[in-house]
Amino acid sequence: MTRHSLLALALLLPTLSACSPEPGPETEAVTFEIPSGASFSQVTDTLAAHGLVRNPTLFRGVARLRGDDRNVRAGRYEVPADIRWRPLLDRLVEGRVITVPLTIPEGFTLRQMVPRLAQITELDVDEVEAMLLSQAQNGEWDVPGPGLEGYLFPDTYHFTPGVSLETVIATMTARYRRLWTEERRARADELGMSEREVMTLASIVQGEARGTSEMSTISGVFHNRLRIGYPLQADPTVQYALGERRSRLLYADIDAVADHPYNTYSIRGLPPGPIGAAGEAALDATLHPADVEYLYFVARPDGTHIFTRTLVEHNRARVEARRLWNEVQQRRDGGAGS
C-alpha cells in the first residue's frame, strides 16, 4: 500500500465502522482459531470466512496502519458476531484467547492429574501419563525429582484448550519454583534438609492432614521420628506404593508392599521423593514444625487426630478411635436399613 493510500485510509478511519458487521438485537458469539505462524493474510481470510470482516483489503490496510499486522497472537478466540474492527484487532494483538480453568487439588498425584491434563491439552490419556511419569522429566524442568511427582503445584490455572502439555508442565513447575523464596531455603538449611526432602515430607503431611489446623503438629511428629530414627509409618506412603487409595488400610496391604521404597512402615527415613502435590500450607508446616513431644497420632472419623507421646498412650488412643469409627459405621448401617 502506497503512502498516499495510507493517508487516505487514515482519514477514513473514523467511518470504517460501516465495514464491520451491523450489531443485532441478539449478538451471537463467533469462535475461530489463529494457528501459530499464520500470516496476516491468512488471519484476515479466517476472519472473513467467519463473517467478521467484509472488506479484507481495507481491513489489512487498517491493521497495517495501526501496526497490528505483525503482532497478532495465535490461539482460539471467541468474539461477538457484531464486533467492530478496532476491538477485534485489540483482542488479536493482546491475545485474549479462550481459556478454561484447570484445577489441581492439593495432594493430587500425577496419576490423578492425568485425566484433567489430557482434557485441557486434548491429548490421549496414555500419552499424557507416559510423559508425566517419565523419570527423565525432572531434569528438563529444574525440579529435584525423582520425576515430576510433587512438583506440579496444586492450584487453579487458566489455559487455552489444546494447549501443549509442555506449556502446562512449564507453567506448573514455574509456579512451584516460586515457592522457594530465600527465606524458605534458609529455613531448610537450618533443618539440614534438601529441597527434595522437604517436599517429600510436605507431601506426607499433606496426605495425613484433613485440613491445615493440625499440619504443624503432624509435621512435628514426623520430625521427631526422623530425629530418633523411628519409622514414619505414614499410611499415605503405603497407599502410594499400592498405586491406589484404599478406604481402609489393612495390615495385609502394608505387607503386600513391604519391600517398596515408599513403604515407610518397613523402611526407615523418608521415601525417595514426594507422594503427591503438597500445597503451600503443608510446605510451611514442614519447615516450621510444632515444638511437641508427640511420637504418635491416630485419626478420628471427623479427620482430626489424637496425638500421644508413648506407645501405651497411642494404643489407648487407637481403642478410642476405633470406638468412634464403629459408631459411625453403625449409624451408616442403621440408616441403610431404615
* Domain ranges across the chain: 3-94, 100-177, 182-292
pLDDT at site 332: 79
**Which three three-digit cell numbers place residue 11?**
482519514
pLDDT digits (tens, 9 = 90+) for 186-215: 999 999 999 999 999 999 999 999 889 999
Residues 6+ apart with CB under 8 A from 250: none
Phi-psi sector, 37: left (phi>0), alpha (psi -120 to 50), beta: left
**Higher model confidence: residue 248 or residue 74?**
74
**Which three three-digit cell numbers place residue 302?**
471427623
**Higher model confidence: residue 223 or residue 9?**
223
| Residue (of 125, 117, 140, 161) closest to 277 by Cα position | 117
| Residue (of 229, 187, 174, 226) closest to 205 by Cα position | 226
User: Superfamily assignment of 3-94 in CATH?
Assistant: Endolytic murein transglycosylase (3.30.1490.480)
- How many Å is the Cα radius of gyration of the chain? 28
- State how far the Cα of 122 lies from the Cα of 120, in Å rounded to an integer: 6
pLDDT at site 158: 93
**Higher model confidence: residue 152 or residue 211?**
152
Confidence of residue 154 (pLDDT cuts 50, 70, 90): very high
Place of cell 515457592: 179
**Which three three-digit cell numbers place residue 167?**
506449556
pLDDT digits (tens, 9 = 90+) for 25-83: 556 899 999 988 899 999 999 999 999 999 999 999 999 999 999 999 988 899 999 99
**Higher model confidence: residue 84 or residue 15?**
84
- pLDDT at position 146 over 80: yes
Cβ(146)–Cβ(138) under 8 Å?
yes
CA distances to 65, 85, 135, 166, 195 from 142, rounded to whole Å, are 43, 43, 13, 13, 12
Report helix angle 56-66 to 85-94, nearest 10.
Answer: 60
How many H helices and E strands in the chain? 15, 6
pLDDT at site 7: 46
Phi-psi sector, 2: left (phi>0), alpha (psi -120 to 50), beta: beta
- pLDDT at position 113 over 60: yes
